[in-house]
Amino acid sequence: MTAVVHDAGRTGNVDPRATLVVADASDRVSVGSVATGHDAALLATGGGRHSDIARAMLSGLSQAGVRRLVVVGGAGSLVGLR
């Protein structure tokens, strides 16, 4: 499992079994390079750039051969939960 964050200083409570990677979810090339070798992706973002991030995620995941994307809302409520 890989946990991708935009800012390493704001990771919250990441499961210690996850590999932590800093990447830009709004950049399809960045998404594709991180997603290569994974079966699925989970998108839980905040802020107002949802459409830009969704387009980049779909494009990058497609290039990486990842066929499943799960999108969740209310990501801020997940901080600190395991």
When divided into structural domains, the chain yields a total of 1
* CB-based contact 31:57 (threshold 8 Å): yes
Which domain covers residue 41, as residue numbers? 2-78
Where residue 65 sits, what CATH number does that domain have?
A: 3.40.50.720
- Write phi, then psi, for 28 (nearest 5 degrees): -60, -35
Write the pLDDT tens digit of every residue in 30-46.
Answer: 999 999 999 999 888 76
Q: Collapsing DSSP states into helix, strand and coil, what is residue 30?
A: helix
- Write phi, then psi, for 33 (nearest 5 degrees): -70, -35
Tokens coding 51: 């459409």
Residue 82, pLDDT above cutoff 60: no
Residue 2, pLDDT above cutoff 90: no
Pick the most confident of 4-8, 18-22, 63-67: 63-67
Instruction: State the greatest distance between any 2 C-alpha atoms of the chain, in Å, as a whole number.
Output: 32
Pick the most confident of 7-21, 29-43, 46-60, 67-81: 29-43
Against a cut of 0.85, is the pTM above it?
no
